[in-house]
């Protein structure tokens, strides 16, 4: 029987998923526009983000489970870790992975398109007139989704029928579990995931690299909120002064001005209205800040400013280490992979120092520090991807399709965002498993005793700690092949890139482009201070003004109604007295 540690790992994973549901619900409700909400869209987005978080956070759980059978300080398996028990753990992990990848693919390729078309088909006028029924709306959405169903069917059929390359000469993949591609259903799913990862490559390059560069800088740098109100006051005063000059020139009659000056005066009047709206929004924000809650928040924020800067520096160093690890692994694969493009640049043993791998291996001495660090790294890269999407928005080439803003994101943008995030993170899983921490993501903290086996069947290094070595693909020791168990995630990813090398080549070379985009964004953002988008400010000011007018109109209506009721009551009292 597996020990309590295995059960505890699964319990922690379930708790993390429950927290992920709360986080996904909060994010969706925070970003969607309150005026145009749809329960179906909200539920779909929450379900998609939860499934995505469950998939990406299963990687640390996978590593923790395969490492639990072999303590890093002993170099041999625990007494409970028989071959049957380890196989049960691997089978449960494989089942969860297949289930999550199937759910991800279904949500991304079928559910999200259907809900998107279903929402687009809604016609309020036709519904109120009885011309659009629920069945007709669902049928219209299904007709548009048929093309996606056909794409999924073609991909699954291609994955099950495409002949696999001959990899008998590839010594790097000896440890891979061939059972993953024995039946056509598993091959089809492997091919489908490979397609999704490849489609997500440009999104991963654009959004994750941008978020990885900007997120630490945003934490370190202060936003320009402190000088915003003062800048608006200066602009408004300058605007009014220019209007006074033009007014004096024409004696108060704009018709006497030349056409050029009249156009300038009209532009100044429009600009004044905009500045007044911004000033009103700034005054409201300032009023909120001078309340006791705002005051406490500002004081707390000021006191925590050094910690925020320190946290930003830690995130920045983590990003640099991540990029350094990716670069070292990519260079190693490009120069030392024996099969090159024929196996997706797989490699048996790392020859170049990988800082993330080394840090995780050293932290394994203090259980469970390595798992915590890897979980934090995974969460950081996921948050960087989400932050990059929120910063850039949904784009096609140079055209912006949707901007992602808190409280102003329409349902269509939320659905597209979740689909883009899913494709991005699937590619991120490849990068984590094969580039950022390839050795650790494959074997975790597992070690083996590099000496001949004893009469009990296991090598023992209790008196020779220097013979305890990390598990790796390069280990030719019989004990290593018997003890070291690769993670299910690394096995699955390696099957994708070795059985379908075309995907592996694209995914491999995309890492160099990712590093280049990161450096470009980092250099650009380092020399520029964060700027507020004035169009967003104007939109917020207009919304606030509209809500204020609606609220004041409602209050006046309520007051008038109450006045009428009071008059009627007095009239009835007078009548009763008479």
Q: What is the pLDDT of residue 403?
A: 80
The pLDDT-based confidence of 462 (bands split at 50, 70, 90) is: low
Q: What is the pLDDT of residue 203?
A: 92
d(CA 488, CA 257): 78
Q: Is the pLDDT of residue 419 over 70?
A: yes
Buried residues in 481-491 as b, exposed as e (16+ CB within 10 A): ebbbbbbbbbb
Q: What is the pLDDT of residue 205?
A: 93
The pLDDT-based confidence of 171 (bands split at 50, 70, 90) is: very low
Q: What is the pLDDT of residue 253?
A: 76
In the predicted model, what is the mean pLDDT of residues 284-309?
A: 62
Triad 427, 429, 434: Cα angle to 5°? 100
Q: 357 or 479: whose pLDDT is higher?
A: 357
pLDDT by residue (tens digit) across 338-353? 777 777 777 777 778 8
Provide the sign of the torsion angle of the four alpha carbons 489, 490, 491, 496, taken in this order. positive
Q: How crowded is residue 109: how many other Cβ atoms within 10 Å of its Cβ? A: 21
In the predicted model, what is the mean pLDDT of residues 448-466?
A: 64
Q: Which residue has the tokens 């089809």?
A: 188
Buried residues in 274-305 as b, exposed as e (16+ CB within 10 A): bbebbbebbeeeeeeeeeeeeeeeeeeeeeee
| Tokens encoding 180 | 């993953």
Q: What is the pLDDT of residue 228?
A: 60
Q: 464 or 384: whose pLDDT is higher?
A: 384
DSSP character string of 97-144: HHHHHHHHHHIIIIIHHHHHHHHHT--HHHHHTT---HHHHHHHHHHH
Q: What residues are paired with 470 via a beta bridge?
A: 447
Q: What is the pLDDT of residue 566?
A: 52
Q: 119 or 285: whose pLDDT is higher?
A: 119
The pLDDT-based confidence of 333 (bands split at 50, 70, 90) is: confident
In the predicted model, what is the mean pLDDT of residues 367-375?
A: 82
Q: What is the pLDDT of residue 514?
A: 93
Q: Is the pLDDT of residue 522 over 60?
A: yes
Q: What is the pLDDT of residue 339?
A: 78
pLDDT by residue (tens digit) across 35-66? 778 888 889 999 999 999 999 989 888 888 88
The pLDDT-based confidence of 298 (bands split at 50, 70, 90) is: low
Q: 540 or 24: whose pLDDT is higher?
A: 24
In the predicted model, what is the mean pLDDT of residues 171-181?
A: 44
Q: Is the pLDDT of residue 572 over 80?
A: no
Please give the radius of gyration of the chain, using alpha carbons only, rounded to the nearest integer.
31
The pLDDT-based confidence of 1 (bands split at 50, 70, 90) is: very low
| Tokens encoding 409 | 């994101």
Q: Is the pLDDT of residue 520 over 90?
A: yes
In the predicted model, what is the mean pLDDT of residues 256-281?
A: 78
Percent of the chain past pLDDT 90, that is, above it, reads 14
The predicted model scores a pTM of: 0.78
| Tokens encoding 54 | 């469950």
Arithmetic mean of pLDDT over the chain: 78
Q: Is the pLDDT of residue 145 over 70?
A: yes
Q: Is the pLDDT of residue 290 over 80?
A: no
Q: What is the pLDDT of residue 6?
A: 81
The lowest-confidence range among 27-36, 194-203, 462-471, 528-537 is 528-537
Q: What is the pLDDT of residue 513?
A: 93
In the predicted model, what is the mean pLDDT of residues 242-251?
A: 79
Q: What is the pLDDT of residue 323?
A: 92
In the predicted model, what is the mean pLDDT of residues 151-160?
A: 85
Q: Which residue has the tokens 């809650």?
A: 293
Cα–Cα distances in angstroms (integers) from residue 489 to residues 55, 177, 444, in the given order: 10, 11, 12
Q: What is the pLDDT of residue 532?
A: 54
The pLDDT-based confidence of 547 (bands split at 50, 70, 90) is: low
H or E segment and range at residue 176: none
The pLDDT-based confidence of 516 (bands split at 50, 70, 90) is: very high
Q: Is the pLDDT of residue 312 over 50?
A: yes
Q: CA nearest 415: which of 57, 119, 6?
A: 119
């Amino acid at each position: 029987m597996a020990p309590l540690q295995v059960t505890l790992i699964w319990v922690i994973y379930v708790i993390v998923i429950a927290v992920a549901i709360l986080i996904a619900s909060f994010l969706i409700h925070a970003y969607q526009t309150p005026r145009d909400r749809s329960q179906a869209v909200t539920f779909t987005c929450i379900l998609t983000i939860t499934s995505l978080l469950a998939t990406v956070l299963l990687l640390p759980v996978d590593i923790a489970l395969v490492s639990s059978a072999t303590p890093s300080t002993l170099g041999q398996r625990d007494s409970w870790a028989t071959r049957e028990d380890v196989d049960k753990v691997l089978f449960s992990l494989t089942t969860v992975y297949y289930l999550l990848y199937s759910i991800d693919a279904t949500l991304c390729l079928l559910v999200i398109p259907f809900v998107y078309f279903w929402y687009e088909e809604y016609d309020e006028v036709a519904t109120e007139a009885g011309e659009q029924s629920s069945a007709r709306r669902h049928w219209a959405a299904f007709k548009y989704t048929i093309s996606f169903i056909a794409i999924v069917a073609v991909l699954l059929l291609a994955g099950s029928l495409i002949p696999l390359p001959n990899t008998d000469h590839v010594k790097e993949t000896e440890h891979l579990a061939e059972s993953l591609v024995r039946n056509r259903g598993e091959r089809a799913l492997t091919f489908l995931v490979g397609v999704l990862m490849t489609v997500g490559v440009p999104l991963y390059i654009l959004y994750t690299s941008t978020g990885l560069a900007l997120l630490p800088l945003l934490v370190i740098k202060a936003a320009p909120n402190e000088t915003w109100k003062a800048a608006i006051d200066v602009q408004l005063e300058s605007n009014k002064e220019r209007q006074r000059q033009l007014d004096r020139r024409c004696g108060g009659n704009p018709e006497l001005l030349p056409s050029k000056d009249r156009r300038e005066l009209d532009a100044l009047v429009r600009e004044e209205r905009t500045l007044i709206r911004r000033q009103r929004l700034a005054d409201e924000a300032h009023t909120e800040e001078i309340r006791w809650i705002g005051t406490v928040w500002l004081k707390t924020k000021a006191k925590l400013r050094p910690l925020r800067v320190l946290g930003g520096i830690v995130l920045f160093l983590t990003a640099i280490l991540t990029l350094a690890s990716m670069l070292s692994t990519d260079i190693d694969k490009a120069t030392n992979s024996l099969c090159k493009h024929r196996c997706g640049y797989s490699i048996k043993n790392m020859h170049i120092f990988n800082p993330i791998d080394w840090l995780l291996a050293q932290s394994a001495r203090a259980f469970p520090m390595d798992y915590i660090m890897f979980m934090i790294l995974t969460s950081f890269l996921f948050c960087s991807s989400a932050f990059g999407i929120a910063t850039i928005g949904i784009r096609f080439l140079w055209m912006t399709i949707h901007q992602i803003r808190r409280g102003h994101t329409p349902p269509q943008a939320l659905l597209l965002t979740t689909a883009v995030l899913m494709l991005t993170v699937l590619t991120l899983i490849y990068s984590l498993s094969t580039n950022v921490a390839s050795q650790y993501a494959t074997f975790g903290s597992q070690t083996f005793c590099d000496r001949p086996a004893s009469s009990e069947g296991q090598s023992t290094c209790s008196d020779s700690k220097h013979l305890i070595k990390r598990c790796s693909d390069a280990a030719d020791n019989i004990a290593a092949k018997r003890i070291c168990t690769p993670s299910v995630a690394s096995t699955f990813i390696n099957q994708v890139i070795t059985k379908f090398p075309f995907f592996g080549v694209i995914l491999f070379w995309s890492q160099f482009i990712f590093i280049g985009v990161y450096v470009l964004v980092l250099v650009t953002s380092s020399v520029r201070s964060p700027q507020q988008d004035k169009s967003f400010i104007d939109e917020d000011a207009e919304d606030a003004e509209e809500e204020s007018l609606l609220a004041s109109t409602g209050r006046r209506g309520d007051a008038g109604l109450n006045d009428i009721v009071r008059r009627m009551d007095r009239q009835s009292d007078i009548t009763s007295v008479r």
